[in-house]
């Protein structure tokens, strides 16, 4: 079990790096050179929602000043708009601009294209479902460790 667990940890790490490489290639294809893959992923994760910066950090997508820097750049290049909350002046809401939505939609189309390349048989669907369930269990395990430490 220990070897299997370590293999999964390494695979998750590699998959994330590969996904960022896929996004880099798509940005090149779209002739977008003003933002990077991490910033494109941030836009994709925001999508059609309005979010507060704190929500992005709390969901575990981004950490500390890194998210602030990326939001600043995305705002500068007109992918994001920021507005202060009327209820809490310390809180800033983020929303994609039209330019940001175009890129988000292009990434959605890319995801649909890539998922269409997977074998669509029920067997593959079951494998992906099982893999997803295992990943969720790992996420819970790691989240609990972060919150509560060792048993």
| pLDDT in 10s for each residue of the chain, 151 residues | 789 999 999 999 999 999 999 999 999 999 999 999 999 999 999 999 988 877 777 665 666 568 888 999 999 999 999 988 777 777 788 999 999 999 999 999 999 999 888 877 778 888 889 999 999 999 999 989 988 998 7
Phi-psi domain of 91 (left: phi exceeds 0; alpha: psi -120 through 50; beta: other): beta
Instruction: Find out whether 93 and 51 touch, Cβ atoms under 8 Å.
Output: yes
How far apart are alpha carbons 138 and 145 in whole angstroms? 10
How far apart are alpha carbons 139 and 64 in whole angstroms? 20
Q: What is the pTM of this model?
A: 0.85
List of residues 6+ apart from 63 with CB closer than 8 A: 57
Separation of first and last alpha carbons in the chain: 19
């Amino acid at each position: 079990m220990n070897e299997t667990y370590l293999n999964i940890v390494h695979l998750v790490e590699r998959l994330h790096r590969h996904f960022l490489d896929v996004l880099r290639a798509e940005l090149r294809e779209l002739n977008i050179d003003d933002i990077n893959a991490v910033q494109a992923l941030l836009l994709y994760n925001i999508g059609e929602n309005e979010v507060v910066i704190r929500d992005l950090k709390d969901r575990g997508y981004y950490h500390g000043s890194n998210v602030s820097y990326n939001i600043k750049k995305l705002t500068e290049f007109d992918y994001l708009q920021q507005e202060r909350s009327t209820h809490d002046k310390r809180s800033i809401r983020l929303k994609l601009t039209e330019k940001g939505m175009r890129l988000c939609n292009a990434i959605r189309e890319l995801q649909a294209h890539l998922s269409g390349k997977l074998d669509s048989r029920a067997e593959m669907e079951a494998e992906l479902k099982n893999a997803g369930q295992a990943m969720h269990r790992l996420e819970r395990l790691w989240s609990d460790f972060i919150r509560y430490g060792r048993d």
